[in-house]
A and B are shown apart, each in its own frame.
Chain A
């Protein structure tokens, strides 16, 4: 069990540019979540996959945000035309819908995005 990994760990971009983040979940986990955390706040839910299906999206997720999970393994989160308000830590978590720790979410280290 290598844990949830995220890449990159840090991203600095200019306003208006597109960015893409990757998340690799724990290998046997079929559920994958994206959250956003701003300074001094708790994580806020963005979107959630079960296998390759995107089952839920938060109203926080504007049309500039898109997420995919092809083949139900890794996931990508893309932000188009970034704005300064997108600066935050983007967290990925994964969980299993079966077993003894059903649906306990395990988090990755996060990707810190800074939009200049």
Chain B
């Protein structure tokens, strides 16, 4: 079956540091890939997505590139802010299906 593996957290960074959160996946088809973010006390928000190989999703300074050859969709940001502190979820939707499969989430803590 489909699965998503994320690096374990928490990831602790100082403000303006570079961020990478690793995400790898297994899927039977050709999935679309997503990053969702969950701020404290709030629901899941779509951060970015990519629907085919080599696509780059970007939003709010975050980027992720769909790498079919390494089955990865790593999240990056060049300079994190305290307000980026949240839990980040990588997810996939396999081709021909509508439901999402999520990773366990990675907590990011950014200190001033």
Instruction: Tell whether A pairs with B.
Output: yes
Q: A: which residues have CB within 8 A of B?
A: 4, 31, 33, 35, 40-45, 48, 50, 55-56, 91, 93, 95, 103-110
A50 contacts across to B, CB distance below 8 A: 98
24 chain-A/chain-B pairs, Cβ below 8 angstroms:
A31-B98, A33-B98, A33-B100, A35-B100, A40-B104, A40-B105, A41-B105, A42-B89, A42-B91, A42-B105, A43-B89, A45-B100, A45-B101, A48-B99, A55-B98, A56-B99, A91-B43, A93-B44, A103-B98, A106-B46, A107-B36, A107-B44, A109-B42, A109-B43
Contact B104 A105 (CB under 8 A): no
> Number of residues in B with C-beta < 8 Å to the partner?
21
Q: Count contacts between A and B, CB distance < 8 Å.
A: 53
Q: B: which residues have CB within 8 A of A?
A: 4, 32, 34, 36, 42-46, 49, 89, 91, 93, 98-105
